[in-house]
């Protein structure tokens, strides 16, 4: 009886230790992905400094040099999970992997409450980073009031003039995923950028 009790106790302690190690590992992975998502924002901000007309970014004409090729091919993450950037773009725009309609992108949701001024996320930069994969999208600042999410504002009466929204997502093996968004604006001339806001979505 004593041997059996000790065996059960030892097994319980082993399970507790393994669970704690798994929790610690997941926490470390989450932190690594968060840092990667933040690094993606900083890379995009650096490259946007050299783009004189941000409308070229919003319409998809200008993209970052920080890419690993075309967006269409699926990426294989650590552990064998698959990332499809086109589907990730749709999820950001309307919450589903399938293509989004205009009305779906204009729908009011928790993190897209601006209706016709919701950002229409355009894939701007994407590449592997450390043990994960980072993608950054650019959209019109939701503070705009012109109802045209594909053009930057042009008047002082539009509070979103000269500002862009950035969305950076870091994907890891085992379903690890972190999402952060920021708003940036011109400052100190065309070559300067300031970050107005930052929020963790996931």
pLDDT by position in tens, the chain (length 202): 777 766 776 666 665 555 554 444 454 567 999 999 999 999 999 999 999 999 999 999 999 999 999 999 999 998 899 999 999 999 999 999 999 999 999 999 988 999 999 999 999 999 999 889 999 999 999 888 888 998 998 888 888 888 999 999 999 988 999 999 999 998 866 568 999 999 999 8
Q: Tell me how far apart the alpha carbons of residues 41 and 45 are, in angstroms, rounded to a whole number.
A: 6
Radius of gyration (C-alpha) of the chain in whole angstroms: 21
Locate the domains of the chain by residue range: 10-200
Confidence at residue 153, expressed as pLDDT on a 0 to 100 scale: 85
Q: Is the dihedral of CA 168, 193, 42, 196 positive or negative?
A: negative
Q: Which two tokens stand for residue 133?
A: 């994969």
Confidence at residue 10, expressed as pLDDT on a 0 to 100 scale: 67
* Residue 7 CB-density burial (10 A; 0-12 exposed, 13-18 middle, 19+ buried): exposed
This prediction has a pTM of 0.85
Bridge-based pairing state of the strands 82-83 and 177-186: unpaired
| Cα-to-chain-centroid distance, residue 47 | 16
Q: Tell me how far apart the alpha carbons of residues 74 and 119 are, in angstroms, rounded to a whole number.
A: 24
Q: ∠22-26-126 over CA atoms, to 5°?
A: 150
């Amino acid at each position: 009886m004593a041997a059996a009790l000790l065996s059960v106790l030892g097994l319980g302690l082993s399970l507790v230790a393994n669970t704690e190690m798994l929790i610690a590992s997941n926490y470390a992975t989450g932190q690594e992905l968060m840092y990667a998502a933040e690094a993606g924002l900083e890379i995009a901000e650096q490259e946007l400094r050299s783009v004189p007309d941000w409308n070229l970014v919003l319409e998809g004409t200008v993209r970052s040099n920080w890419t690993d090729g075309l967006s269409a091919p699926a990426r294989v993450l650590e552990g064998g999970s698959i990332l499809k950037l086109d589907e990730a773009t749709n999820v950001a725009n309307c919450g589903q992997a399938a293509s989004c309609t205009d009305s779906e992108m204009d729908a009011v949701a928790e993190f897209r409450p601006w209706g016709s001024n919701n950002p229409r996320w355009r894939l701007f930069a994407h590449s592997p980073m450390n043990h994960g994969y980072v993608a950054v999208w650019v959209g019109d600042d939701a503070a705009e009031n012109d109802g045209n999410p594909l053009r930057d504002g042009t008047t002082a009466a539009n509070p979103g003039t000269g500002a862009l929204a950035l969305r950076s997502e870091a994907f890891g093996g085992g379903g690890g995923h972190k999402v952060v968004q920021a708003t940036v604006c011109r400052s100190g001339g065309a070559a300067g950028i300031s970050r107005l806001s930052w929020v963790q979505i996931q």
